Amino acid sequence: MEKLEAEAMTIELRLTDIDPPTAEPKRTIYRDIANLPDPTTLGITIRYFNYDDVGLYMQITGSGTGYTFTPANLGLLGTGANAYKNLDNFASRTKPTVAQLPNGEMSENITLTLKGYTDAGYTNLKWTFNRVVTVIWINSTDASFTVNEVDNFDDGTVQGWAVVNESQSISLSVAPQTDYVLSPPYSLRVTEGSSNIGSPCQNFQTRYRLYKSFTTPNKDKVYAVMDIRIGRAVSGGEKYFKNYTLKKDSDVLVYLGKAYDTAASDYIPVAKWVRIVVPLPKNTTLELRMVLEHVYHRSDSGSMYAYSLFWMDDFKIISK
């Protein structure tokens, strides 16, 4: 079958939760080279659509100067359907050098390519859809940036961060801990526990929010940089992580994972540090909110507990 370009929106790739026919806004990925491993990996959450009148086997790949992409087979997507997928370690690249970031910044483009096949062997290509994404690299240690906020928790306090339950968490605490850190001796850790009494294998939703208010500097460029890690501890039950959302007040800045379900599967990276970089508006008072959503899967009857753990270290706001 002839390969066709999906000009009439037969398939589509998006990086937001904005529904068609509203146009997808321009998307930019921000990255910070400071203390980043070399080579570095890229993970993103995608949303993909099938408008064809038959089911299609979808595949995502990419291209970009200096990048190596690992194509991901996404499986069968029914006609009229859409789905989310978090792609961990989707691409790798040699970390840019300091010299490549004059004045602490560099911009480049990558192309994400969604393909729709009519067969499970991914040989009979019917449609392709390309989306160009800008990647902006910064060096947060560059002298051109002013460091306006550093929360590394090394004074043994939470430095203004707080946590609140949004759905069925029976216990929540936030405190500096020494178990996983990037800058010793402390990182910030949220410990969330949940329980339920009832039939075995019962599933229910839990969700909490870590937050803090800031007033951003009156500079043309303002960035927040943070390193996060997600993990779990188990006693008779299990937590599975569905999504992580970073918000500016109610506005979504970053979304990882997919919508809540009861499957015994993680949809976001677990047991690894992940760096997140976002631009912020200047001269604005705002609240940054990190929302973590899970399913608690019961493995036995009676009162059982499962704990989710969330770490953050070396949060900072920089500007110039």
Q: Domains, the chain, ranges and CATH?
A: 4-138 (2.60.40.10), 146-319 (2.60.120.260)
Q: Where is average pLDDT lowest: 41-50, 151-160, 177-186, 288-297?
A: 288-297
Q: What is the CA radius of gyration of the chain?
A: 21
Task: Report which of residues 193 and 241 the model is more confident about.
Answer: 241
Quick check: 236 and 304 in contact, CB under 8 A?
Answer: yes
* pLDDT tens digits, one per residue of 131-153: 999 999 999 999 999 999 999 99
pLDDT recorded at residue 302: 53
* pLDDT tens digits, one per residue of 59-93: 999 999 999 999 999 999 999 999 999 999 999 99
> Is pLDDT above 50 for 3?
no
pLDDT recorded at residue 4: 47
Measured distance CA(195)–CA(306) in Å, rounded? 7
Measured distance CA(245)–CA(276) in Å, rounded? 11
* pLDDT tens digits, one per residue of 106-119: 999 999 999 999 99
* pLDDT tens digits, one per residue of 163-202: 999 987 778 999 999 999 999 999 999 998 765 545 555 6
Q: Taking phi first (over 0 means left), then psi (-120 to 50 degrees means alpha), and beta for anything else, what does residue 17 get?
A: alpha
> Is pLDDT above 50 for 2?
no
pLDDT recorded at residue 135: 97
Average pLDDT over residues 210-234: 94
pLDDT recorded at residue 197: 45
Measured distance CA(104)–CA(137) in Å, rounded? 8
Closest CA to 193 of 171, 174, 162, 167: 171
pLDDT recorded at residue 120: 97
Closest CA to 270 of 43, 15, 37, 106: 43
Under 8 Å CB-to-CB from 138, ≥6 apart: which residues?
A: 30, 31, 32, 33, 101, 104, 105, 145, 223, 277, 318
Q: In a 3-state reduction of DSSP, which class is residue 282?
A: coil
Q: Where is average pLDDT lowest: 15-19, 149-153, 229-233, 295-299?
A: 295-299
- pLDDT band at residue 235 under the 50/70/90 scheme: low
The pTM for the full model equals 0.91
Structure tokens at 71: 């194509």
Task: Report which of residues 26 and 148 the model is more confident about.
Answer: 148
Average pLDDT over residues 191-220: 81
Task: Report which of residues 305 and 236 the model is more confident about.
Answer: 305
Beta bridge partners of 191: 173, 309
Which percentage of the chain shows pLDDT scores above 90?
79
pLDDT recorded at residue 28: 94
pLDDT recorded at residue 206: 86
- pLDDT band at residue 306 under the 50/70/90 scheme: low
Phi first, then psi: give them for residue 58, nearest 5 degrees: -100, 145
Average pLDDT over residues 9-25: 90
CA atoms within 13 A on the CB side of 161: 30
- pLDDT band at residue 264 under the 50/70/90 scheme: confident
Mean pLDDT of all residues belonging to the chain: 91
Phi first, then psi: give them for residue 131, nearest 5 degrees: -130, 125
Per the listing, tokens 């029914």 go with: 78
> Is pLDDT above 90 for 233?
no
Structure tokens at 176: 């500096």
pLDDT recorded at residue 203: 76
